[in-house]
Structures are given as C-alpha cells and as structure tokens.
C-alpha cells in the first residue's frame, strides 16, 4: 500500500519517529576518550531543526529489527506518528566476535539471518502502511572493514588473527554488511516504500572512511553531517511542505 505524503500537506505540524539502532541514536566512538558517546550534532538533531512539528528519536543502541518489532507499540505507535524513518541492519548482520575469537572453527550465526531481516523489515513496513503511517527506509552507511576488524579483534593480536581466519579475508566484512543493505533496497522496491540512499552519499566522497569512527561502523560527526544533508536534500526535492526553514549546507558544517 502506497501512502501519498501530500495528503498530509494541509497539516500545520507533523509527528516523525526515527526508529533504528545506535547510528540513528547518534552514538559515535570518541577517538580521544576511546569509548562510545552520544553526539549532540547527530543527523536526527540536525534534521529536526528544519522540520515542522515534533521529531521523536526512538532508536536504541544495539537494537536489531527483532527488538524493533518487539518495541513497535511502545516506541512508535504511542507517538501517533505521521512518518517513521527506519534504520536497522547494522546490528542484525553482526556476529558474537568474542566467541569467534575464542574458537575460529566453530559454527556461528549473525544476530539476525539476512532472510529473516528481509522478512521482518517487510512486516514492519506493511504494519505502518496499514495504519496510514508513512514508512521511509534508510540505507546503511558503508563500514570500514579494516577499522572494524581492528575493533572487534582489539583484545589481542591472536583474537584478531582468529577472527580473520574465520571470515577468510577482510573484504568479506564489507560484502556481508552489503547483503543487508541489499535487503533494504529489495524491501523498498517490492513494497514501493520511500528510500533515502545515504550509502551512496558516503561512497560518492573521495574517501568515505574519513567519515567513519575508529570502530569501523559508526559515522563520525562529519558522517552525520553527510546523512543530514542527504535527508534534507531528499525532503527539499520531494516534500518541501515538511520544512519550516530552507536548509543551507553551510549551516550543517
């Protein structure tokens, strides 16, 4: 079911829920403090300044699509949203790396199998559409495979070697992550759901790895600026009536 956002055009304000994991929450890895922290200038906060109405950030650190559906009523529906921005996948494709580091010959599974991720994301989109809530899918920002391997194998050189032995080569980290992004694209196409392709915005940069934290997966402050610019550009082109101010690129720097 396709919902026309222009049916909301007469409203004075809108309720938007951002739903996903730590990327949407605004978590970054602080390279100086060597720990994860909350970024004030997250893409959600940057975009919020330009939108009519209320933006709720219901994203949670470590969340998978399975957990997202479990919290659907309490975190999304109770807000009575007009629009829900959906960003899941980064935790779904992840493995229990400490266990792999201990036994690289074991049998391990991702937090959410890719086919299950695809099915549950489709279910989430259809639930929203059936309630006349507009779902908007967001692609995954690309990870930095080298940084990510160093992060998950940070406990020791042996741990890193064992993880590398299990995955075969570093590039497999990127390609595995890409499978889940492909699932998002497939859901968007099959359900005719709106899609904001932030991944392409990163890959179009001369060196997208400069936009990724040392943990290899979380966008840094500059990365969040790129995401915000992509989302606002999408809104400007398609749904100008959602904006209370015309965003200027310089304002996001």
Parse the chain into domains and list their residue ranges.
Answer: 11-98+113-144+184-244
Q: What is the pLDDT of residue 53?
A: 87
Q: What is the pLDDT of residues 64-109, one digit of tens each?
A: 999 999 999 999 999 999 999 999 999 999 999 999 999 999 999 9
Which pLDDT band, with edges at 50, 70 and 90, does 253 fall under?
very low
Q: What is the pLDDT of residues 148-157, one digit of tens each?
A: 999 999 989 9
d(CA 69, CA 247): 33
The rounded percent of the chain whose pLDDT value lies above 70 is 93
Q: What is the pLDDT of residues 100-143, one digit of tens each?
A: 999 999 999 999 999 999 999 999 999 999 999 999 999 999 99
CATH number for region 11-98+113-144+184-244: 3.40.50.1110
| pLDDT surpasses 80 at 50 | yes
Whole-model pTM: value is 0.93
Q: What is the pLDDT of residue 30?
A: 87
């Amino acid at each position: 079911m396709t919902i026309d956002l222009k049916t909301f055009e007469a409203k004075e304000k809108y309720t938007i829920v951002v739903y996903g994991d730590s990327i949407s929450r605004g978590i970054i890895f602080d390279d100086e403090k060597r720990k994860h922290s909350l970024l004030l200038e997250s893409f959600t906060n940057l975009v919020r300044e330009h939108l009519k109405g209320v933006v709720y950030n219901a994203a949670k650190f470590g969340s998978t699509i399975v957990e997202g559906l479990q919290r659907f009523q309490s975190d999304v529906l109770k807000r009575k949203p007009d629009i829900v921005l959906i960003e899941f996948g980064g935790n779904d494709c992840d493995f229990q790396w400490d266990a792999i580091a201990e036994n690289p010959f074991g049998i391990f599974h991702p937090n959410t199998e890719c086919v299950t991720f695809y099915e549950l994301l489709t279910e989430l989109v259809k639930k929203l559409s059936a309630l006349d809530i507009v779902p908007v899918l967001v692609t995954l920002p690309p990870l930095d495979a080298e940084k990510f391997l160093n992060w998950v194998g940070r406990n020791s050189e042996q741990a890193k070697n064992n993880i590398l032995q299990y995955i075969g080569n570093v590039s497999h980290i990127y390609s595995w992550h890409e499978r889940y992004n492909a699932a998002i694209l497939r859901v968007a196409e099959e359900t005719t759901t709106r899609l904001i392709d932030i991944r392409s915005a990163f890959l179009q940069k001369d060196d997208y790895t400069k936009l990724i934290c040392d943990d290899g997966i979380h966008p840094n402050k500059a990365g969040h600026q790129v995401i915000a610019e992509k989302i606002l550009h999408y809104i400007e082109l398609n749904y100008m009536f959602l904006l209370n101010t015309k965003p200027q690129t310089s304002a996001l720097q």
